[in-house]
Amino acid sequence: MEMQKFEVVGAVKINNEWKPYTSVIEAQSERLAVEQAYCTIGSKHRLKRNYITVKTVNVVDGE
């Protein structure tokens, strides 16, 4: 399966404040891109999944 780039947009709760984030992730599907976003943001900021929201996932056109 071909890898695509996805732009994942959402918010994270840090210090009782929701802060927006945008991340471009290369994955095989939209579902896997969301999983990768949860893993990357959660491990970087030591957050559980209920402190991370995903609002939209868009395919990034080729460059």
In this prediction, residue 1 carries a pLDDT of 72
Print the domain residue range for 30: 4-59
- Rounded Cα distance, 61 and 48, in Å: 31
pLDDT at 62 > cutoff 70? no
List, for residues 17-44, the tens digit of each pLDDT value: 999 999 999 999 999 999 999 999 999 9
Give how many domains the chain has, as a whole number.
1
State the virtual CA torsion across 30, 21, 25, 50 in degrees, nearest 10.
-50
The rounded distance, in Å, linking the Cα atoms of 33 and 1 is: 14
CATH at 32: 3.10.20.10
> So what's the pLDDT on residue 63?
54
Q: State how far the alpha carbon of 29 is from the alpha carbons of 11, 20, 51, in Å.
A: 21, 23, 23
